[in-house]
Structure 1
Amino acid sequence: MNKPNKAPNNKEFPLTRETWRYIKRRQKELDDAFLSKAKWLPNDNARLSALLIERGELINEFPETFKWWKHKADDRARIIDEYIDLLHFLAGMDGMPAALFTMDGGYSRIMFEAETDKWRRLSNDYVLEQLLDYSPNREYPVQSACKVVALATHIMGRLGFTDGDILVAYDAKNAENFKRIAEGY
């Protein structure tokens, strides 16, 4: 599978459309492997629930900002790992029956246009609070998932992660997940 070309660093929004399309293709392969052995097939709300759990795990990796009682630094490796888990669940929603628009269209509208302008002017702390406080609408699980990932992607850019960092981390996590399937996870 062709990997995207290395993109210039975009500190506002480090995930390029090319990388997002690559992740969607790879996620389809992973989901097919997982779902071939699944006990039941998840719907969009089940995937949204999983994504929201990962959102909590991502926020948990920000002790400098989120945990005033802790005296340890943010762990960048854990942060990107949890972010990749968000991408796994969002990319897996593509083509689900409740999706009212394609994920690529949703990514374009929500992630590149409205959200980037809104969050560009805000501090990291405030964006992290918005990620924590955002209440998804279960009537629109795909759109809700897009908003969560848009907020998280903006945070990743502010932390200095690049499209290349995201791609490398995604490929590593994807390989780990295929290994888990082979081992009967």
Structure 2
Amino acid sequence: MNLEKLFHLQQNLNERIEKEHELGQTSLLSKKVLALQVELAELANETKCFKYWSSKSASDRSIILEEFVDCLHFILSLGLEKNFENINKVNVKDSQYDIIAQFLNLYVDINDFFICSSKDNYITLFEDFLALGKSLDFNIEDIENAYLIKNSINHKRQDEGY
């Protein structure tokens, strides 16, 4: 995964949003953490992994991937907020847990990062998130390409006064 490129693209989007919305030097950490939690819930909702009461299938793969990269935008943004954009590598590992446990674990990771915004907690969050992506059958190329598309959409939304 080309982290340098992704952090750079996210930084450009963040700077644009902060300038256009006149956010100046305002700390957005708590808002970004909540945004990530909400986006993670939207991702879970599209997988329908927890909906034991429903026989409906998961959403199309493309919709799930789009929700996944929405989360990635906020993970990158959190790293930028804490100046962790210099990480060279995050490991993409297999998870030993089912998808539901992975979602729940990510909420713990987000909370841990919010309480103690250390680089180690950030890398754990990032790696566990990529493990979820692997469990959802997304490879690095899928994720990067979808991120590029969604980043472009997010810039267009800013053009349109989103």
Give TM-score scaled by structure 1 length: 0.71
**Alpha-carbon distance in 1 for matches of 2:75, 2:110:** 16
**Alpha-carbon distance in 2 for matches of 1:52, 1:142:** 18
Larger RCO: 1 or 2 (CA < 8 Å, sep 6+)? 1
Question: Do the aligned residues in 1 keep the contact of 2:37 with 2:107 (CA within 8 Å)?
Answer: no
Aligned length: 157
RMSD: 2.6
**Alpha-carbon distance in 1 for matches of 2:153, 2:54:** 30
Query: Unaligned regions of 5+ residues in structure 2, if any?
Result: none
State the Cα distance separating 1:134 from its structure 2 match: 5.0
Instruction: Determine the structure 2 residue equivalent to 1:126.
Output: 101
**Alpha-carbon distance in 1 for matches of 2:43, 2:101:** 15
Residue identity matched to 1:127:
Q
**Alpha-carbon distance in 1 for matches of 2:56, 2:140:** 27
Matching of residue 27 in structure 1 with residue 4 in structure 2? no
Instruction: Determine the structure 1 residue equivalent to 2:50.
Output: 66
- Give the % identical residues: 22
State the Cα distance separating 1:61 from its structure 2 match: 1.4
Instruction: Determine the structure 2 residue equivalent to 1:87.
Output: 72
Give TM-score scaled by structure 2 length: 0.80
**Alpha-carbon distance in 2 for matches of 1:93, 1:164:** 22
Instruction: Determine the structure 1 residue equivalent to 2:111.
Output: 136
Query: Unaligned regions of 5+ residues in structure 1, if any?
Result: 1-15
